[in-house]
Structure formats: structure tokens, C-alpha cells
Chain A
Amino acid sequence: MIARLFGFHGGIKPDAHKNESAGSPIRPAPIPSRLVVPLRQSTRATSECLVVPGQKVLKGERIGAPEGVLGTAVHAPTSGTVLEVVEHHMPHPSGLDTLSVVIEPDGEERWIEHGPFDWKERSRDEALAHLRDCGIVGLGGATFPSHIKLGTGTGIEVLILNGAECEPWITCDDRLMRERAADILTGAQILRELIGAPRLVVGIEDNKPEAIAAMRTAAEAMGTGIEVVPIPALYPAGGEKQLIRVLTGIEIPYGRLGGEFGVQCFNVGTAHAVYRAMSFGEPLVSRVLTLTGNVDQPGNYEVLIGTPIEDLLPLAGPRRADTDRIIMGGPMMGFALPALDVPVVKATNCLISASQKLFPTPPPEQACIRCGACARACPAELQPFELYWHSRAKNFGKAQEYNLFDCIECGCCAYVCPSHIPLVDYFRFSKSEIWSREREKNAADQARERFEFRNWRQEREKEEKAAKLAAKAAETRAKLAEQPAAGEGAAAAAPAAEEDPKKALIAAALARAKAQKAASEPKNTDGLSAETQAEIAEIDRRRQALGLAEGAEPAPDAAPAAPAAPDDKPAASTRDA
């Protein structure tokens, strides 16, 4: 079946600059003297450290266990010794630190025991778990965990393989498709079966004829009706939503996933990693990336995850004097690295040496003339100049009304703007402002809840005290009433009876609380080491000295108070009581 192509709105055609590196076959990068493997490979895929300094690890050995739903495993990229587990800069625009395992390679590349995973014999869940344990995430740059994307295994009509690679300069996917087409398609077939999609379509920008030819040949050899579709080279055709639109006509709105619309999209590099994971049991410990830009020998390299970027750069030749930044990713959506000791991560697809000649500082920002060029270029069909206007005025509500969050930060608008307005920066600023306000609001909400809860508790305590007093008074009255003549007893008994149910309730509550306390206390301190018990005793003593010991106050609220203020200092809430 020949797929009909659809267009998407806007888009731009910057100089591709692919020729610099496209002709260079993938070569393995040398093993560096130190590997720094972040335990968090993206904002979502987190993992828990499994190794300690001094420990010997093998290539592919798990050093991080998947954490949470979106977590994936992290592995030692080669055999060696764990030197330390420290906070280290990530390749992130903000230079964020994250817990990383530093490994000194022994150069022997000794693998862990591994072998094919027979996914046909095993259940789907097991296969997904295997992908998670192999640390497979999207290699297009977003590093979304693949096992999550594979979803429920039903309801997907089309599986799209993204070989568009629309950003200028980047050629790693191009080379991968030229050199390992059959492997990629084998991986894609596995993904297709796991996702249960009848159709498999590979989208490749038509400025990569060799890749298209290689993938076509491989597809024919496999003979399973894989469609390899050349698409017009128009940035950002490789954006997931744009590619889906071009190939199927389906538009995925902001905040929704392709799965909800019967289509799912994987990068060719991811398919390749899936193939290695399934056919050889190899976890994802390396990736292909492009070294290019202001260098003598641009090229493509297979690089171990964790390789410091400064170790990699000399592969493209000595650093030229006018190189002023290193950009990770493409020039449209990438970012300048804050430091060069950051490691290669699963998202690192390209490193561009930048110079003023290649990427000049844009001329000073001028006034927006409302020419609409940005709106005509925007693939999200937004009105960037309106967003700019409201962002500039810090009118974030309005910016949201104009669908600020639909902006994919592709940079087309800023690219075309004749007034050289850094539009995307304004949008990033607005988004982060809105997020931080949201966070503040949530924090304020929590504080308010805590406050209200405390008020309610104090109120209740007051009531209880009053009730207790009333009960005591009633008791006294009853006692007094018993002594005089029996005739008056009937009159006195009436109010006492009225208070009785209340009293009973309070007594019951008190009893419950006591029981609860009795039940919970020993539990908490059960099976503690002598050390800890001593510590607790010490704390109790201090509290008693301050008159804060439990029992000094009626205890019933102690239990509910704790969960209400989990992150608050317990001392504060006790004092409040």
C-alpha cells in the first residue's frame, strides 16, 4: 500500500549541513579513562543505585534499578571498577547535578552473561519488563521509557518508525539506517508485535536517499509489508506529532499520547536498541552520535554512555581557536553545554562545535511588526507574536489562553522573525513562570490545608475539654443530687441523662485513642537496635524536659496529625498542640 502524505502547517527549510558528516561511517569511540554514568538518564527515567565504590562491575551489569513507573535500569557500559558514586553535572541546559556512578574501565570489555530473550515464548509483560531492565528509552532525544510507550498491546493501528532526522547537522540516524537497516527493522518488527500494530511505516526525510534505499532493500528482504516512505525535508518533520501527521493525517493534541489515537512512534535508534536487547540480551550501554560543526573531521561514533564529552571532542580533530560553545542536539532545539566534563547520556545524539561564523549571535532584538511570519512558520499553528506579547507583559493567563503549552519549542518562529526576537526564550520563560507559580500555589494549598487542619483540631480539643469539664460537673452534680431527698433526684437526673451519651462517646474515643497509642507505640519501636532505642530514649527525655512528652496533653489527635504534616517538622505541630 502506498501511503498518502499529509502536510503540516508551517515549517522551515534551514541549511541542512548534513554533508559534513553523512559520509562518515559509524566508528567505535575509544573507551575513556573514566566513565560517569548518571543514574537518571532523563527527567523521567530514574533508577536506584545498586553499587558501592570499589565494586568490580562487568559490561552490561546493572548499576541502577528502575524506580517508579517510568524508571528504567542503568548499566555499566564496560567492565571495570566503581570509583565513586557522586553528584555530577548532567548534560542539561541548567547544568543540573545528578547522582552518577563513576567507573574506571579495565579495558577488557568483559560482558555479563547474556543471551537472546525469547520474547515469542514469553508473555508480553515479561518482554516489557525485559526492555525496562535493559534500560531501553527513546533515543530520538526525549528518552521516554519504551516499555511505557508500548502500552497495552492493543488499539494501535500504525507503528511509525521515525527516521526523519530533520534537525540540521545531525546524521547519526542516517548512518544507522544505511549501515544497520536489517537490525533496525528486526527491532521494529518486535516493537510492532509487542504493540499489536497491523501497519509499520518508516518515515525518512527525502534528503537521505541512501538511507531510504538501504531501508527499502532491508524491508523487501524481510517481506512483511513494511512501508518505507520518503517525506519532504521540512523542519520539524521529525517531531513526533508532525511525523504522525505527515504519515497518517492524525493530529495529536498537546498533552495526549499517540496511543490514544491508534498510532505510536519510535525512533530508528530505539528500534536498533530493542533488537540488541531481544536478540542478544544486551542492555543499552552505548549509542551512535554525530560529532560535527566547526571541526576538521566530522563523523559518527558509537559511544559508551557515560563517556565525558571532553574526551570525545578530539576525535573530530583538534579544537579550533574560534570554537566558542559545544551544542548538544541540533541547532534548532539543542542547547549549549554548560560544562564539557558532562557525560554522554542516552539523549545525546549530536555534539556540534559552534563558532560565531557558524552560529552568529543574532542581531539585537527589535520591535515586533506583527508581520505574522512566525505564525506562518509555526507547526503548532500558534500565533507566536500574541504569545510573545503576553509573555513580555507577564500576562501569563492570556498566554495560556493562546495555547502557550501547545508550543513544542521547535524554534521555527524565532528562526524566521525579521525582528530577531528570541521568541522561544520568551515562551520558555512563561512556561517556567507558570510552573513555578503552580508549584507555589500547591505549596500554599498544602500549607492552607495544614493550617485548617490544625484549627479544626484545636477546635475539637477545646470542645473535648469543655465536654470533659461538663462531664465532671455533671458527675459532681449527680453525686450531690444523690445525697439530698430522692424526690429531687428525678429532676437532677434529667440533665445528667442528656449529657450521658456525649460522655459515653468521649470515653469511648479516649479509650480508642489509648488503645491506638498502645498498639502503635510498641510497633514502632519493635525490633529496633539498641542504638536506636537509646536514641529514642534520649529524644523522649529531651521532650519531657521541654514538657512536650506525650501524655502531657490528651493524645487522640497525635495519630491523625502525623499524616497531615508529613514534611513538616513534627516538633512544630506538637508545639502547636
Chain B
Amino acid sequence: MIHSPYIRKPASVQQVMFTVLLALVPGIAAYVWQVGAGILVNLAIATTVALAAEALMLRLRKRPVMLSLGDLSAVVTAWLVVLCFPTIVPWWVTTLAVLVAIVGAKHLYGGLGQNPFNPAMVAYCTMIVAYPALMSQWPPAGQLDFATQLDLILGGARNLDAITGATALDALRTGLRVGEADVATLLQQKAFGALGGRGWEWVAGGYLVGGLFLLARGVITWHMPTAFIVALATIAGLFWLVHPEQFASPLFHLASGGAMLAAFFIVTDPISGATTPRGKLLFAAGVAIIAYLIRNFGAYPEGIAFAVLLMNMCVPLIDMKTQPRVFGHREEKP
């Protein structure tokens, strides 16, 4: 027998996931416009692989395939994987990454809702460790036409120096490591645009628009994006104020790399993230700070993926320690 409540809000996981996909569209559009349509090919590959892997795993786990496939969670993971990767990675890297995300990070941990780690970030970290060279070949904005991108994706010969440039974060970092220049001089290079990497500011802007849409639709709460942005800006600001010639400005950090994507789409992954209001603040701020430290002092130009996984590990503790006060319980637990 069915018990109360007898009425339900017409909401579904599918709707939530669909809204997330929709919110990614402005960022993707900016990506296509600024960098090239190769991303669409990768999105198509990743979506297909994700759905196939999801169906297979559901089948193996004897779960209702159509119901869970229809929830679109696998597609969201696939898209996030692609958006974190250089557009021109060969198709098999994308395929492998999506398999790692869906089969490894999601289903081996028990499927939707059970994975302690963000699947897309697991895929990113695995790939950057396994194929560091391929994973750091980013196409400079507006330099490669679609045919070239397609050729590279489908496994064409890679003449590394000719086709790729360092990302803004990478260029800055390498430049500073060599020690020949300061931030201001480096930023004159053609890899840099007005705020972050040339052309990439638009992409970041697209994510920002999509993120605000998610906020407006109530799919995410303000806690994570705000904490992420404020924490990143604060730590970057501190270093920048002390050593402006050594460290880039907070605005640069926010507009570069995956900061905006992370703020609205990655740290906000509900399943692997913290759930309490205070926990969310801590979690997102933690990611931002670790990511900044990796960007500046670690072995990789972008640190968000590692930061997310590290914070994922802390989630049970964070949630436990930040349980909100229950109605009528006055300041019981600190």
C-alpha cells in the first residue's frame, strides 16, 4: 500500500540532470566559438561510450537498465570529462577516460549515489598521470580549424610544437619557473587574453552564465560556488598582494583553467560532495585552496581535479562535524 504523502512534486533525477546539461550549453557554445567545434566530436564520443558503459554495468548489476539510463547522470559525467580535457585528445583517451569514470569510479562503488569520488575528476587524474603529454596539449584559441581538430581527435599525426600551445596557467607557471620574467611581462604573451587565457575567458563566462542558471533553478545552492570563488580569490589575492611579480592576480586565477567550471559544475556534484550547508562551504573552500597551492607550487598546472578528490575523502568527516542544528535543539553540539 502506498502511504502519505500522496502528492509529489513533479521532479525527477532526469530533470535535475537535464538542467545541468542545459546549463553547460553556454560554456560549450563559447568553447565552439573560441576554440573550435572539435569539442562537439569529443562530446559525441563520450556520450556514446558513457551510455554504453552505463547500460552494460546496469545489466551486469541486474538493475533496471532503461530507468537508470534515462536518468542522464552518465551523460553529465561524460560531458564533464570532455570539458576538463584538451579538445584535441585522441578519441581513445576520451573513451578510456569515460570508462574509468563510469565503470571504475561510479559502478564499482555501487552506482549512482554511492560513489565517494567525483567520477569525472577520477578520470582526469588517471589520464593526466597516464598520458601527461597528450593531456597537456591544448589548442590555442582560434588557431586550429575543425578539420585539423578532427584529424587529431581521430588519431592523426601529432606535430606537437606546431599545433599546441601551453594554457595560460601552464605558460605562466613555466615562465615563472624559468625565472626570466615576472607576471606582468609574461602576461604580454599571446597565450593570454584580457583576463585569463586568450579566448578562454569567454568559455569561463559561459560557465558562469550556466552556473547562475543552475542557481536560479535551485539545482545547486549558493554555498559551493560562493565558497569556491571567495576562497580562490582570497588566497590568490593574499599571495598577489605580497608578491605581485611572482603571483598572478585573483581575477586571472578565476578566469583561467577550470575555475568557473569547477565552481558551478564540479565541486557542486551532490553525490561526492559535502551535504550540510556549513560542510558545503568548507568543502568548496578546501578545493579552491588546494587547487591554488597545486597550481602554484605543485607538479601540475591545474590542480582542481586533485583538490576535488582530496576533499572527497574528507566528506564523511566534514558532514559529520557540520550537522546543522535540528528544529528546537538549541546550540547543543558545537
Closest chain A CB from B317 CB (angstroms)? 14
Determine the chain A residues whose CB is within 8 A of the CB of B4 once the complex forms: 327, 329, 331-335, 409, 411, 424
Determine the chain A residues whose CB is within 8 A of the CB of B219 once the complex forms: 371
Determine the chain B residues whose CB is within 8 A of the CB of A364 once the complex forms: 64, 67
Tell me whether A354 is interfacial, beta carbon within 8 Å.
Answer: yes
Chain A stretch 302-353: residues in CB contact (< 8 A) with chain B: 327, 329, 331-336
B73, A363: Cβ atoms closer than 8 Å: no
Determine the chain B residues whose CB is within 8 A of the CB of A494 once the complex forms: none
Determine the chain B residues whose CB is within 8 A of the CB of A414 once the complex forms: 5, 8
B13, A419: Cβ atoms closer than 8 Å: yes
Determine the chain B residues whose CB is within 8 A of the CB of A327 once the complex forms: 4, 6
Tell me whether B176 is interfacial, beta carbon within 8 Å.
Answer: no
Closest chain A CB from B311 CB (angstroms)? 15
Q: Report if A368-B328 is in contact (Cβ < 8 Å); known contacts: A12-B9, A14-B9, A93-B3.
A: no
A251, B327: Cβ atoms closer than 8 Å: yes
B7, A367: Cβ atoms closer than 8 Å: no
Determine the chain B residues whose CB is within 8 A of the CB of A336 once the complex forms: 1-3
Determine the chain B residues whose CB is within 8 A of the CB of A245 once the complex forms: 327
Q: Report if A373-B3 is in contact (Cβ < 8 Å); known contacts: A367-B111, A381-B325, A406-B327.
A: no
B16, A418: Cβ atoms closer than 8 Å: yes
B328, A241: Cβ atoms closer than 8 Å: yes
Q: Which of A241, A366, A428 is the one whose CB lies under 8 Å from B13?
A: A366
Tell me whether A256 is interfacial, beta carbon within 8 Å.
Answer: yes
Interface of A is mostly: loop
Tell me whether B159 is interfacial, beta carbon within 8 Å.
Answer: no
B7, A416: Cβ atoms closer than 8 Å: no
Tell me whether A382 is interfacial, beta carbon within 8 Å.
Answer: yes
Number of B positions contacting A (CB below 8 A): 40
Determine the chain A residues whose CB is within 8 A of the CB of B325 once the complex forms: 381
Closest chain A CB from B220 CB (angstroms)? 9
Closest chain B CB from A57 CB (angstroms)? 36
Tell me whether B188 is interfacial, beta carbon within 8 Å.
Answer: no
Stretch of B36-44, B133-141, B229-237, B268-276 contacting A (4+ beta carbons < 8 Å): B268-276
Chain B stretch 270-325: residues in CB contact (< 8 A) with chain A: 270-271, 273, 275-276, 319, 323-325
A331, B7: Cβ atoms closer than 8 Å: yes
A368, B7: Cβ atoms closer than 8 Å: no
Chain A stretch 358-393: residues in CB contact (< 8 A) with chain B: 359, 361-364, 366-373, 375-376, 379-383, 385-386
Tell me whether A492 is interfacial, beta carbon within 8 Å.
Answer: no
Q: Nearest chain-B residue to A375 (Cβ)?
A: B275
Instruction: Choose among B71, B319, B328 the residue with the greatest number of A CB atoms under 10 Å from its CB.
Output: B328
Tell me whether A254 is interfacial, beta carbon within 8 Å.
Answer: yes
Closest chain B CB from A174 CB (angstroms)? 19
B326, A420: Cβ atoms closer than 8 Å: no
Q: Nearest chain-A residue to B325 (Cβ)?
A: A381
Q: Which of B3, B6, B15, B276 is the one whose CB lies under 8 Å from A383?
A: B276
A403, B13: Cβ atoms closer than 8 Å: no
Chain B stretch 70-98: residues in CB contact (< 8 A) with chain A: 71, 73
Tell me whether A252 is interfacial, beta carbon within 8 Å.
Answer: yes
Tell me whether B181 is interfacial, beta carbon within 8 Å.
Answer: no
Tell me whether A9 is interfacial, beta carbon within 8 Å.
Answer: yes
Closest chain A CB from B63 CB (angstroms)? 9
A381, B327: Cβ atoms closer than 8 Å: yes
B327, A256: Cβ atoms closer than 8 Å: no
Q: Report if A420-B7 is in contact (Cβ < 8 Å); known contacts: A369-B16, A370-B270, A375-B275.
A: no
Closest chain B CB from A276 CB (angstroms)? 31
Determine the chain A residues whose CB is within 8 A of the CB of B162 once the complex forms: none
Determine the chain B residues whose CB is within 8 A of the CB of A381 once the complex forms: 324-327
**Distance, CA A254 to CA B271, complexed state (A):** 30
Tell me whether B126 is interfacial, beta carbon within 8 Å.
Answer: no
Q: Report if A420-B8 is in contact (Cβ < 8 Å); known contacts: A9-B327, A241-B328, A385-B275.
A: yes
**Distance, CA A364 to CA B5, complexed state (A):** 15
B7, A332: Cβ atoms closer than 8 Å: yes
Determine the chain B residues whose CB is within 8 A of the CB of A551 once the complex forms: none
List 23 A–B pairs whose Cβ atoms lie within 8 Å, in order of A's numbering: A168-B7, A253-B330, A327-B6, A331-B4, A331-B6, A331-B7, A334-B4, A335-B4, A362-B8, A366-B112, A369-B13, A369-B270, A371-B219, A373-B11, A380-B326, A381-B326, A381-B327, A383-B324, A386-B275, A406-B328, A414-B5, A417-B8, A418-B15
A sample of 11 more A-B contacts (CB under 8 A), given A8-B327, A367-B112, A381-B327, is A168-B7, A254-B328, A331-B7, A334-B4, A336-B1, A359-B6, A370-B270, A371-B270, A402-B323, A415-B5, A420-B8
Interface residues of A (CB under 8 A from B): 8-9, 12, 14-15, 93, 168, 241, 245, 251-254, 256, 327, 329, 331-336, 354, 359, 361-364, 366-373, 375-376, 379-383, 385-386, 402-403, 406, 409, 411, 414-420, 422, 424-425, 428
A-B interface, 8 closest residue pairs, ranked by CB to CB distance from nearest: A253-B328, A411-B5, A367-B113, A359-B6, A331-B6, A251-B328, A418-B11, A367-B112
Interface residues of B (CB under 8 A from A): 1-9, 11-13, 15-16, 64, 67-68, 71, 73, 111-114, 218-219, 221, 270-271, 273, 275-276, 319, 323-330
